[in-house]
Structure 1
């Protein structure tokens, strides 16, 4: 494998379909994107792992949906980690990259030595889809279950969409010969094409807390095909997922050649944040002059920091609040 082919697959999501068994999927590689997401904050290792996993899941899910604007993933918990939030912005033009951002809100003093997922506690996993102006945002929520964010995402699709879904993910710091240490992440997502009755969810499932799992949705030949594809995915190795020496197309042939994989155009992904002075102003426009006065610092200005990218904004308080417009200081 040449360096050029390695770079070509960095920060991409490759869609594919297994024609023999009516299953679609995605292969994702996040390299520079993940480094940029995590470099905006000084997270402890457990928080880095959760944000990396959430960003990888978001890239895989986001590419499956025809987005005019944004897909968001939110995990809220009662433990030391209160919030993990990610946004995936669909490409604005054909051939343009999608953009992704992510951050975590947590209480550092409450972190323990346990697994990263255990730091979240009880809570919920949510996917929000906003197609932009003139549309009503969609939101689906399921309880946290399964011991990992990828398991929560699988439960979400089984319960909310009745779509059997499987994730195989790996992520962490790695170092190529002659290069510095950097974050790399890779994963495969499998998803059965829609077939289930919408009334399946009403009957309850055999998963944790009565949640649905794939055996509650698929039976007969479809169930056998799903089981076979998952058994093949079970053979994947972490180094194959994360790369960089195995191209995604070669990985699909290695795993699924008997299932007749068909690949489509890869989607490039970049780090990108939508924050801007005008957006901050719009957020602050709901506050009264008295509310704005309480937000002013000792220097007489109002400051705001983006939780995703760390951008710092300063405003003249006289230009803020309900019914007021102006420019950032």
Structure 2
């Protein structure tokens, strides 16, 4: 056993904001599990989103870190929705090795109407559109992008569809978002928490990965993960289905204890986790570089009260520049 892997109880618990990879060799299953705490709370508090929007952003963060922390190279994993619902765009991106940022765009009037009508479930807020999952390895490389339709489905089901459609790997995903009341200075306060689990069936035999009667043409309905007949995969689905939403959120359970509850009969191995943090990649230098590419007319249109102001949509940080810095911009 290497120092990168351990049996439960050997080293302790990863805690919040740490993605824990795991393997259940007896079931040919690998996956990752995470509980997001203080980091997620900071991201959501910064924007003061209405609660239904905050829940969507939290789910986007879960999917992004569960997938992004699997990257074995320097780069980014980006999740973005574009849809016709009251929340028409949600973006979360993970930059290796550990940086996460996220935000959402929504129509206040349509959102208020949806909430008043009791139609504030994630799939209702998203509406119809697409979910794009992008892997970016940086300059001079080609991006890989998978597109999944959003049509009355939430991010949990869309993530499963992505793996079935783009990777053809039987994958189960479970997401949970909620609030926890914790004591603090000035009294108790609600804090956002989120938990997620991703499990994949990766047997060594290709035949065991094959789902029966897979369609061959574009646009054909895809077989669901549940259609994989292998007994090990069916057992995995049954086990994951027993996970309560509270278990994914409860800091007293933790990622490792949850894995033990699920797989103690088969034996589960956990690996060194990846800590994730709330860190935006925006900077004064980067924004100045973008403005330097503006024409003189675009610079003039950007000036307000004698200053060019730019607010980062992710971290809400405000930047101010003097128009004279870009006086050489070509008309």
* TM-score interval, smaller chain: 0.7 to 0.9
When residues 253 and 321 of structure 1 are mapped into structure 2, their CA distance, relative to the original with a 3 A threshold, is farther
Match 1:187 to one of 193, 196, 201: 196
1:293 corresponds to which of 300, 308, 318: 300
SS of alignment partner, residue 198 of structure 2: strand
CA RMSD across the alignment: 2.4
Rounded to whole Å, the distance in 2 between the matches of 1:320 and 1:159 is 47
Structure 2: state its 5+ residue gaps.
1-11
Query: Which of 186, 211, 214 matches 2:225?
Result: 214
1:187–1:241: 8 Å Cα contact kept in structure 2?
Answer: yes
Distance 2:182 2:90 in 1: 29
Three-state SS of the structure 2 residue aligned to 1:40 is: helix
Between the two structures, name the one with larger relative contact order (CA 8 Å, sep ≥ 6). Answer: 2
> C-alpha distance in 2, partners of 1:78/1:201?
29
State the shift of 1:238 in Å: 2.2
Indicate the residue corresponding to 1:202 in structure 2: 216
Q: Secondary structure at the match of 1:20?
A: helix
CA 1:30–1:134 in structure 2 vs 1: closer, same or farther (change >3 Å)? same
- State the shift of 1:270 in Å: 0.8
**Which of 80, 85, 88 matches 1:82?**
88
Residue equivalent to 1:277 = 284
Q: CA deviation at 1:279?
A: 1.5
Shift of 1:32: 0.7
**Is the CA contact 2:124–2:152 (under 8 Å) kept in the aligned structure 1?**
no
Number of the residue aligned with 2:77? 71
CA distance in 2, matches of 1:145, 1:262: 37
Question: How many Å separate the matches in 2 of 1:322 and 1:101?
Answer: 33
Where 2:140 maps in the other structure, the secondary structure is: coil
Asked if structure 2 preserves the Cα contact closer than 8 Å seen for 1:301 and 1:314, the reply is: yes
User: 1:261-288 CA deviation, whole Å, 9 max, x = no partner?
Assistant: 1110011111000000121123334321
Is the alpha carbon distance of 1:177 and 1:215 closer, same or farther for their aligned partners in structure 2, counting shifts above 3 Å? Answer: same
State how many pairs are aligned.
305
Q: Cα 1:295–1:323, aligned 2, differ >3 Å: closer, same or farther?
A: closer
State the match for 1:327 in structure 2: none
